[in-house]
Structure 1
Amino acid sequence: MITLLLQIYLVVLLAHVIFSWVPRPPEPIMPFVLGVRRLVEPVAAPIRRVIPPLRLGNVGLDLSIIILFIGVRILMAVTRSVGL
């Protein structure tokens, strides 16, 4: 059960990454975009405070999302090995 929830959260993280590439999402999907942000930001913000975005010229690479992906994958491996 926990592994399934972590898999769903990985999909939410992927949606967050895709939505971050769109400067102004269409109005009909805006509630979905805001919902995804509400699920990701409380977890990503503390990581972002410790590891700020990497500046690459005029672009900032948000490492917190990458670290979050890795962390969720590690949690998935642990829960699978324990049998949750």
Structure 2
Amino acid sequence: MDQIYSIVMLVQRIYTFMIIGYVLLSWLPNARESFIGVFLGKIVEPYLGIFRRFIPPIGGMLDLSPILAVFALQFVAYGLIAVFDFFI
């Protein structure tokens, strides 16, 4: 059980850092066109797109979807751990 918990939390933490990194790249000019920006965009943007469909940017500039995406990711990670804990 400890190994499953560690793996789920590690994946959740890595993906959360990828989301944060992708958001921070949006603050720098032309950073999303770099190799790292394109790589993170391919991995993170499909997940963020789900939340962007339902949460429009506030004032046209402030995008809150990454915050909700991180909370949802954390909720799913703890849900997976609870399910594994129930069956194991």
TM class by smaller structure: 0.7 to 0.9
Are residues 1:38 and 2:39 paired?
no
1:64 aligned partner: 65
Normalised to the residue count of structure 1, the TM-score between the two structures is 0.77
Identical residues among aligned pairs (%): 28
Residue type at the aligned position of 1:65 = P
Residue type at the aligned position of 1:21 = W
Residue type at the aligned position of 2:13 = Q
Once residues 82 and 27 of structure 2 are traced to their aligned partners in structure 1, the CA distance between those partners, rounded to angstroms, is 35
1:74 aligned partner: 75
Show structure 1 runs of 5+ residues with no match. none
Q: Which structure features the higher share of strand residues?
A: 1
Q: Secondary structure at the match of 1:76?
A: helix
How far is 1:83 from its partner?
5.3
Q: Secondary structure at the match of 1:49?
A: helix
Highest CA radius of gyration, 1 or 2? 2
Paired residues of 2:48 and 2:69 also in contact (CA < 8 A): yes
Normalised to the residue count of structure 2, the TM-score between the two structures is 0.74
Show structure 2 runs of 5+ residues with no match. 1-6
2:23 aligned partner: 17
